[in-house]
Structure 1
Amino acid sequence: MSGGVDSSVAAYLLKKQGYDVVGVFIKSWDGLPTKNGIKFREQCRWREDRRDAMRVAAKLKIPFLTYDFMSAYRNRVIEYFFNEHAAGRTPNPDIKCNKEIKFKLFLERALNEGADFVATGHYVRLRAVSRKPEAVSRSGSLNSLNIFELLQAKDSAKDQSYFLWTLTQRQLARCLFPIGEYTKTEVREMAGQADLPTAKKPDSQGICFIGEVPIVEFLRTRLQSRVGAVITADGRIIGEHEGAVFYTIGQRHGLKLSSRLPYYVCGKDIANNIVRVAEGNDDPALYQDMVEASEVSWVNKAPRVGNRLTAKIRYRQKSEPLTVIGIRHELNKHTNILENVRMSWLFKFDRPQRAVTPGQSIVLYEGERVVGGGVIM
């Protein structure tokens, strides 16, 4: 229970359905010291959120616990966030948080303490599909009678399936997503009808568990400014920037350049601290149809080369059609053999996509079903 309306209604629905519900607040963040001694505490209102979650638990008459994952969150999510930016990539900390904290540490601890399932307030649906009898006899594992499909939410405007592509069958077998069959309007109406304390609380924004922080200011707490050249796609130096690590592909703001058309970041050279820009939103340098992804994970089974799917390369983007092109294996540079090999997948969109950003996730769909995803290279 995060202290928001979505997880509050999730708990309410589960109790109404007859589950023995225990509310759990995950404490992961309390501020990061900056160079001038200020902390980002005002954006991370964890005490207020925890108090709201406790009030909902009291209203529902369910037990309430707090799990402290601050150390793990700092090591697994925040360090990842800074390291990726330092390497020139733009990570998605919400996806990393789901993978490492909510559906790993939280799930494991809850199961170890006797829970049968964990539930969250994510807008996503889960469907159990019976396996073929011969498949059941071969697997013989927990919940082997079913294959679990991760589906987009009923409310397409609030669908959060993009953030959950890393979930495995074993994890999904222990998950419940009670509000995935409802719209946000319906969720708020239920919260009001049940007189839940969070019924009118605004939705949270910003980084998972941190809140609304200025990203560049946040990065400056660890990464140093370094003046470098801004170069056009045809090689002209047209200005300076304050550090390539602070820019992301497709970005317009923060570039103090004079031009008839706006400039957008279309590439970065971190080693030489260069930012490359495209002139205008229609510049071909901003677009590409081929995408390569690593750290790929499939919710059920991997697609085949030639399969036609749809995909998103960022949240709130319309899913676009593509073709699975193939798998690439990188040889060990020292032995020239497939040892400790890095594998990546290649996809080709029907139409070139704007601002394909290394570090972000590509998430693939077949209709409303999440097939899987990977990290864009």
Structure 2
Amino acid sequence: MSGGVDSSVAAALLVDSGEKVFGLMLRLWSAGPERPNRCCSPRDVSNARKVAGRLRIPFYVLDAKDEFKNRVVDSFISGYADGLTPNPCLRCNREIRWGLLLEHATKLGATHLATGHYALLRRTNGHYRLYRALDRRKDQSYVLSVLGQKQLTRTLLPLGELDKEKVREIARDLGFVTADRPESQDLCFLGGGDYRTFLAERMEATPGAILDKQGNSLATHSGLENFTIGQRKGIGISGPEPLYVIDKDVKRNALIVGPRAELGRTHFTVRELNWVSGSPPSGETPLTVQVRYRTPAVSAQLETFQDRTEVVVEKPLTHIAPGQAAVFYDKDECLGGGLISR
């Protein structure tokens, strides 16, 4: 439970179905008392406790500040230091929620971990398969692509067939204080702040050259961590046409920019592949790939070599950023994914 409407309703649906339920909330690291983690602020803890009270279920808080800081936040910072654009939600789901949290829930007697994620789970021939939520606007299968059979056999996703408004309606009918809690798209540990400010407080900025693809020096950047592939605003260069971030050359500490026509790529390499089923799809499976949480999936092919796996897409994609996840689908089924390397 996070003190939000989704986990509140997930718990209510399970209680209503006759399941024996207890609520478990993670207390995660934050940047300070003035910027509490939005997943577990004092108000969120209070709201989750009130929801548990209305449902008459036990409620516990698990202190995971140190583990979250060491495994998720520090990895986020080091990723930017290495020129990547990391997605910390992937690591959090794999190592904290379906790692530390599930382990602790098991010790308390739980058989399954239920969350408020919007995705569908279906069991076929003894295997669990992950699908997009019916409400495609809220679908979160992308960030669950890091899970495998070991985790999914013990997972329940009660909201997969509901849309957000229906979830809020259920919460209002039950009198939950979380019913109209506003959503946030920010990373939880930023506490509503900007990620650039967060990084600037923890990394020493190293200015460097802004170059075009021909190697011409155009200006000076404030630090590679302040930029991501596909970014247009904030480069600080005016010209006859808008310039975009094409690449980040960490070895030279150079930011490579160019017009939109130079931005698209039709192939890239992935690492740390995880397949939900435990095995890669057959070569005949029609794949699509999604390279950011909110970008549409496009047709793709996988090419496997001895030392790497490459992805080839039909049309150039403009936001292929090392550190982000490339998640593969067969229609609405999430097959798994990996991290974009180069």
TM-score range, shorter chain: over 0.9
CA separation of 1:52 and 1:210: change in aligned 2, threshold 3 A:
farther
- Which residue number corresponds to residue 297 of structure 1? 274
- Which residue number corresponds to residue 76 of structure 1? 71
Distance in 1, matches of 2:160 and 2:37, equals 31
When the two chains are superposed, the root-mean-square deviation of aligned CA atoms in Å is 1.6
Q: Can you give the 5+ residue segments of structure 2 that lack an aligned partner in the other structure? A: none
Distance in 2, matches of 1:91 and 1:288, equals 19
1:325 to 303, 306, 314: 303
Q: Does the 8 Å CA contact 1:29/1:46 hold for their aligned counterparts? A: no
- Which residue number corresponds to residue 134 of structure 1? none
Q: Does the 8 Å CA contact 1:3/1:50 hold for their aligned counterparts? A: yes
- Which residue number corresponds to residue 16 of structure 1? 16
Amino acid at match of 1:50: V
Amino acid at match of 1:325: E
Distance in 2, matches of 1:183 and 1:240, equals 46
Q: Can you give the 5+ residue segments of structure 1 that lack an aligned partner in the other structure? A: 33-37, 131-145, 330-343
Distance in 1, matches of 2:37 and 2:305, equals 45
- Which residue number corresponds to residue 85 of structure 2? 90
- Which residue number corresponds to residue 355 of structure 1? 319
Distance in 1, matches of 2:303 and 2:186, equals 34
Q: Report the 3-state secondary structure (helix = DSSP H, G, I; strand = E; otherwise coil) of the residue aligned with 1:258.
A: coil
1:127 to 119, 122, 125: 122
Amino acid at match of 1:124: A
Q: Report the 3-state secondary structure (helix = DSSP H, G, I; strand = E; otherwise coil) of the residue aligned with 1:315.
A: coil
| CA radius of gyration, larger in | 1
Distance in 1, matches of 2:18 and 2:324, equals 39
1:117 to 98, 101, 112: 112
* Pairwise CA distance, 1:39: 5.6
Distance in 1, matches of 2:229 and 2:284, equals 28
Q: Report the 3-state secondary structure (helix = DSSP H, G, I; strand = E; otherwise coil) of the residue aligned with 1:3.
A: coil
- Which residue number corresponds to residue 48 of structure 2? 53
191-200 or 8-17: bigger deviation: 191-200
Q: Does the 8 Å CA contact 2:31/2:189 hold for their aligned counterparts? A: no
Distance in 1, matches of 2:22 and 2:189, equals 20
1:309 to 259, 267, 287: 287
Q: Does the 8 Å CA contact 1:29/1:210 hold for their aligned counterparts? A: no
Q: Does the 8 Å CA contact 2:2/2:39 hold for their aligned counterparts? A: no
Distance in 2, matches of 1:360 and 1:124, equals 20
Distance in 2, matches of 1:49 and 1:42, equals 10
Query: What is the correspondence of 1:43-192 to structure 2 with a 5 Å cutoff?
Result: 46-130=41-125, 146-192=126-172
Q: Structure 2 length as normaliser, TM-score?
A: 0.95
Distance in 2, matches of 1:114 and 1:93, equals 29
- Which residue number corresponds to residue 138 of structure 1? none
Distance in 2, matches of 1:249 and 1:179, equals 33
Distance in 2, matches of 1:328 and 1:223, equals 36
CA separation of 1:44 and 1:7: change in aligned 2, threshold 3 A:
closer
Distance in 2, matches of 1:365 and 1:82, equals 29
Q: Report the 3-state secondary structure (helix = DSSP H, G, I; strand = E; otherwise coil) of the residue aligned with 2:192.
A: coil
Q: Does the 8 Å CA contact 2:245/2:256 hold for their aligned counterparts? A: yes
User: For residues 283-336 of structure 1, what are the alpha-carbon distances to aligned partners after superposition, in whole Å with 9 as ceiling and x for unaligned?
Assistant: 2x211111210000000021234643001000111110111222341xxxxxxx
Q: Structure 1 length as normaliser, TM-score?
A: 0.87
Query: What is the correspondence of 1:189-338 to structure 2 with a 5 Å cutoff?
Result: 189-279=169-259, 281=260, 283=261, 285-300=262-277, 301-305=279-283, 307-329=285-307
2:331 to 345, 353, 367: 367
Distance in 2, matches of 1:240 and 1:304, equals 47
